[in-house]
Copies of this chain bind each other. A is one copy, B any other.
Amino acid sequence: MNIKENVTQKAKQAKKAAKELANLGSAYKNQALLQMADALENKQDMILAANKKDMQRGRENGLSDSLLDRLLLTEERIASMAQGLREVAQFDDPIGEMIEIKQRPNGLKVGKIKVPLGVIGIIYEARPNVTVDAAGLCLKAGNTVLLRGGSNAINSNQALVEIISNAACQAGLPEGSIQLVETTDREAVQVMFKLNDYLDVLIPRGGAGLIQAVVNNSTVPVIETGVGNCHTYIDVAADLEMAEQIVINAKTQRTGVCNSMETLLVHQEVAEDFLPTIVEELRERDTLVKGCQQVQDLVADVEPATEEDWATEFLDYTLAIKVVTDFEEAVTHIDKYSTNHSEAIITENYTKAHQFLDMVDSAAVYVNASTRFTDGGQFGLGAEIGISTQKLHARGPMGVNQLTTTKFVIFGEGQIRD
């Protein structure tokens, strides 16, 4: 069987399973999630052995330390994946809820029912925890999944999917509910892009390159996720002490994540007060500061920030800082360079706060808080499958609810149209 046939076959099975899974009650799905969790823990030796192979090959292939860390599974990390599944089992099941049922003048009762999307394709990097997290969330919302993880994690993913897929079947879920593309050939991804007959949506999770490849080549509808060139703007009316804490948090609390700050904008009237201290604090936390001319004038040894820097998601201990003339320049800068993920204003000025909320067109817009909160758990949505930076269907953190759609249901008594 060639790659195209193989991937198509798996997607077909997932589609078949999706029809059955769509109408299974919560009890079955929750039981499956719990059994999947138990199975992960019971078979952790098998997972660790498979992961060891991936780690060894990863080292041979010269993967960076941070990529190796993402690839690594430990007893603790397996327990954490299992715990994640148990938490998902506790969530409310969105499926089957009827909403907005209204009676029309002719007596027709018209409303909607929440239903699964169907089959969700996930294309992601060599992070085996995504395999389990994504499968769990998709199943909870009644969807089946076709998973395609990074080739460096193939052994880990095969072990994980074998274990959770068997556990799900034993709990009564249809066979084929969790499918893994097992070839590491890139052609497999190209095939997924065109499987409109079997995949209802593709969700890429990973870096900008991966996401752009999916957006530019997939005819299957895509939910674009995650690239975050996030900004924080320190207004002239900011509480500078609050601003300091938020800037340090947004930049350094965790750097390799999409909701961390990459560019700091500072109103010119507070620049002299604010910048020397904050740069010192950032440097104490090993952060490289790049800045515009005014920043360089105010603080010693600041590297010039280039046009490219303003557009870069550093995902590292690097921050670009720009002094702006006023609120409007801050908003214009954000409009030009932002990836529309998360942006914050720090201000005590009521009008400016609300103008910022209105004018900044990003998935999450903050007043007086760290952008690091853009996260399904932090927003109270439970676990998330990613953070959408597009406008269709879902925007911002996507929880179980965003993995559903609706259909109209119409209860009639023989009505016909005039």
Q: With an 8 A cutoff between CB atoms, is A74 at the interface?
A: no
- B104 touching A358, Cβ below 8 Å: no
Q: With an 8 A cutoff between CB atoms, is A91 at the interface?
A: no
Cα distance, A417 to B196, chains bound together (Å): 40
A409: which B residues are within 8 A, CB to CB?
Answer: 357, 364-365
Binds B, one of A32-40, A62-70, A241-249, A321-329: A241-249
Interface size class of A (residues with CB under 8 A): 35 or more
Q: With an 8 A cutoff between CB atoms, is A288 at the interface?
A: no
Binds B, one of A81-89, A109-117, A309-317: A109-117
Cα distance, A408 to B413, chains bound together (Å): 41
Query: Which residues between 362 and 392 of chain A lie within 8 Å of chain B, taking CB atoms?
Result: 362-370, 372-374, 378-380, 390-392
- A410 touching B373, Cβ below 8 Å: yes
Indicate which residue in B22, B249, B368, B391 contacts A201 across the interface (CB closer than 8 Å). B391
**Chain copies in the assembled complex:** 2
Jot down 17 A-B pairs with beta carbons below 8 A, ordered by A. A115-B361, A117-B391, A200-B391, A242-B414, A248-B416, A357-B409, A364-B410, A367-B410, A367-B411, A368-B413, A368-B414, A373-B417, A378-B417, A379-B408, A392-B392, A395-B405, A396-B407
A365: which B residues are within 8 A, CB to CB?
Answer: 407-410
Cα distance, A364 to B216, chains bound together (Å): 31
A residues near B, CB below 8 A? Answer: 19, 22-23, 102, 104, 108, 110, 113, 115, 117-118, 196, 200-201, 215-216, 219, 221-223, 239, 242, 245-246, 248-250, 253, 335, 357-359, 361-370, 372-374, 378-380, 390-393, 395-397, 405-417
Cα distance, A378 to B415, chains bound together (Å): 12
- A373 touching B415, Cβ below 8 Å: yes
Majority secondary structure of chain A interface residues (helix, strand, loop or mixed): mixed
- Which of A19, A253, A364, A415 has the most C-beta atoms of chain B within 10 angstroms of its own C-beta? A415
A239: which B residues are within 8 A, CB to CB?
Answer: 414
Q: How far is the CB of A380 from chain B (nearest CB, A)?
A: 6
- B215 touching A219, Cβ below 8 Å: yes
A118: which B residues are within 8 A, CB to CB?
Answer: 361, 391
- A215 touching B196, Cβ below 8 Å: yes
Cα distance, A373 to B110, chains bound together (Å): 10
Cα distance, A198 to B11, chains bound together (Å): 33
Using A368-B412, A369-B410, A374-B408 as known contacts, list a sample of 20 further A-B pairs with CB atoms less than 8 Å apart, ordered by residue number in A. Answer: A19-B361, A22-B358, A23-B358, A23-B359, A108-B373, A110-B373, A110-B380, A115-B361, A117-B392, A248-B416, A361-B407, A363-B407, A364-B407, A366-B410, A369-B415, A373-B415, A378-B417, A379-B408, A395-B406, A395-B407
- B416 touching A366, Cβ below 8 Å: no
- A416 touching B364, Cβ below 8 Å: no
Which B residue sits closest to A246, measured CB to CB?
Answer: B416
Which B residue sits closest to A381, measured CB to CB?
Answer: B110
Cα distance, A215 to B193, chains bound together (Å): 12
A102: which B residues are within 8 A, CB to CB?
Answer: 380
A361: which B residues are within 8 A, CB to CB?
Answer: 19, 22, 115, 118, 407
- A366 touching B412, Cβ below 8 Å: yes
Known: A390-B221, A391-B405, A395-B406. A249 touches B416 (CB 8 A): yes
Indicate which residue in B110, B358, B396 contacts A379 across the interface (CB closer than 8 Å). B110
Which B residue sits closest to A387, measured CB to CB?
Answer: B408
Cα distance, A219 to B390, chains bound together (Å): 13
Which B residue sits closest to A390, measured CB to CB?
Answer: B221
Cα distance, A201 to B222, chains bound together (Å): 12
A216: which B residues are within 8 A, CB to CB?
Answer: 219
